[in-house]
């Protein structure tokens, strides 16, 4: 039996109020439980996407690093470093927020990650084609890394919301609702007890009065 | 919808690769170097959407990154960890698995 809520006087008024609170708590509990289930299914979905996205990004990066290494082997790493310092257009991304069941998740759209040779900014004469390959592969890898950033942030936000909702559901299920019902039962029994007390008191008084009347007439 | 930029923090090879790919906002650090100062500078930039950090650097700065993620109020900047040229670090506990466990209570 759960604890009763302290400081509530056992009156009919309070019993009515408790009844309303129980109804409300149960309604909230049902809604939150539905929210939790929906969140969990969404969460699992995004987890899968994180897995895929991470695998793809890792693979692309590995390829890009291999090309970079080749370029470094052909031109020397200092020369590649020099080329990388000459920069063309910077990548820009659009970040939008989407709302999944009240959880804000990012939606990132990269703007023209794949650039033309000219936009890359470095000269052609003194660079090897390996650099071009590496640059192209890195552009592709960056696209995947951006996608990974998006799903990773989504999964974290969703997880936090799932934890929060779960805590609320459990608090309602195991603490709030049992406490309310226990208190309601307590009040109901207390009221019944008072009723019985009153009943016996009246009986006693009636008996006393009748005894008094008898004594008077006698 | 807002237009934002990307930054990268990592070893010199990672940085030169990402610079070739078009991320010019870059910081070369050694694997075990603290990046508090760099991160502090980066998060003050509201235009910055994504910070790419190599796993090795991120591992050396785990507490800083965790604090940052807890403290940030908006969604950006998103800090994303990537494997460097030596490939992904194989971890005993996958942070994603830990997250799943704490969220739904079962391992997957």
Write the DSSP assignment of B24-69 as a string of letters.
--EEE--TT---HHHHHHHHT-TTEEEEEEEHHHHHHTHHHHHHHH
> What's the angle, vertex CA B41, arms to CA B79 and CA B26, rounded to 5?
65
- Mean pLDDT for the stretch of residues A178-182: 93
Average pLDDT, chain A: 87
- Candidates A149, A153, A157, A162: best to mutate against B (most CBs of B within 10 A) is A149
Separation CA B64–CA B41 (nearest Å)? 13
Beta bridge partners of A100: A103
| Number of cross-chain residue pairs from A and B with Cβ atoms under 8 Å apart | 146
CATH code (residue B33): 3.40.50.10580
- pLDDT digit string, tens, across residues A115-154: 666 666 666 666 777 788 888 888 888 888 989 989 988 9
How many Cα atoms within 13 Å fall on the side-chain side of residue B27?
Answer: 22
Nearest to A46 by CA among B2, B16, B99, B22: B99
Q: How many domains does chain B have?
A: 1
Neighbours of B9 (CB within 10 A): 25
pLDDT of A27 strictly over 70: yes
Contact B69, B97 (CB under 8 A): no
Going by pLDDT thresholds of 50, 70 and 90, the confidence category of residue A31 is: very high
pLDDT at A126: 66
Q: Any idea which fold A12-216 has?
A: Helix Hairpins (1.10.287)
Cβ neighbors of A159 (< 8 A, separation 6 or more) are A43, B99, B100, B102, B103
> Which tokens in the block code for residue A131?
């650099």
Tell me the nearest-neighbour CA distance from A193 into chain B, angstroms: 45
pLDDT at A25: 95
pLDDT at A76: 82
Note down the domain range covering B58.
5-104
pLDDT of B8 strictly over 70: yes
pLDDT at B16: 86
Q: Is A130 on the interface with B (CB under 8 A)?
A: no
pLDDT of A200 strictly over 80: yes
Neighbours of B107 (CB within 10 A): 8
pLDDT at A18: 93
Residue A115 in 3-state DSSP?
Answer: coil
Closest partner CB to A91 (pick from B22, B75, B88): B22
pLDDT at A87: 65
pLDDT at A196: 96
pLDDT of B1 strictly over 60: no
- pLDDT digit string, tens, across residues B71-96: 777 777 888 888 888 877 777 777 88
Q: Is B87 on the interface with A (CB under 8 A)?
A: yes
Residue spans per domain, chain A: 12-216
Separation CA A192–CA A199 (nearest Å)? 11
pTM for this entry: 0.81
Beta bridge partners of B6: B50
């Amino acid at each position: 039996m759960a604890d009763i809520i302290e400081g509530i006087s056992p009156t009919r008024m309070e019993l009515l109020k408790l009844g309303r609170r129980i109804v409300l708590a149960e309604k909230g509990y049902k809604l939150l439980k539905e929210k939790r289930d929906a969140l969990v299914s969404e969460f699992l979905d995004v987890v899968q996407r994180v897995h895929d996205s991470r695998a793809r990004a890792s693979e692309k990066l590995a390829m890009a690093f291999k090309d970079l290494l080749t370029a470094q082997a052909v031109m020397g790493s200092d020369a590649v470093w020099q080329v990388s310092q000459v920069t063309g257009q910077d990548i820009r991304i659009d970040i939008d927020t989407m709302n999944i069941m009240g959880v804000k998740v990012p939606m990132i759209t990269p703007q023209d990650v794949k650039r033309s040779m000219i936009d890359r900014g470095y000269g052609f004469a003194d660079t090897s084609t390996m650099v071009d390959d590496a640059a192209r592969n890195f552009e592709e890898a960056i696209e995947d890394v951006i996608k990974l950033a998006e799903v990773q942030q989504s999964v974290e936000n969703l997880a936090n919301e799932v934890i929060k909702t779960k805590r609320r559901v459990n608090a309602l299920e195991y603490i709030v609702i049992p406490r309310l019902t226990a208190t309601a039962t307590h009040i109901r029994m207390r009221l019944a007890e008072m009723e019985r007390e009153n009943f016996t008191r009246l009986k006693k008084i009636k008996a006393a009065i009748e005894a008094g009347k008898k004594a008077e007439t006698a | 919808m807002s237009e934002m930029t990307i930054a990268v923090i990592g070893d010199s090879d990672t940085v030169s690769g990402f610079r070739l790919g078009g991320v010019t906002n870059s910081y070369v650090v050694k694997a075990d170097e603290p990046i508090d100062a760099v991160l502090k500078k980066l998060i003050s930039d509201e235009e910055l959407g994504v910070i790419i950090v190599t796993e090795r650097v991120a591992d050396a700065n785990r507490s800083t990154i965790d604090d940052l993620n807890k403290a940030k109020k908006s969604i950006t900047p998103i800090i994303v960890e990537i494997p460097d040229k030596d490939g992904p670090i194989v971890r005993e506990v996958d942070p994603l698995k830990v997250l799943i466990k704490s969220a739904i209570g079962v391992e997957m």
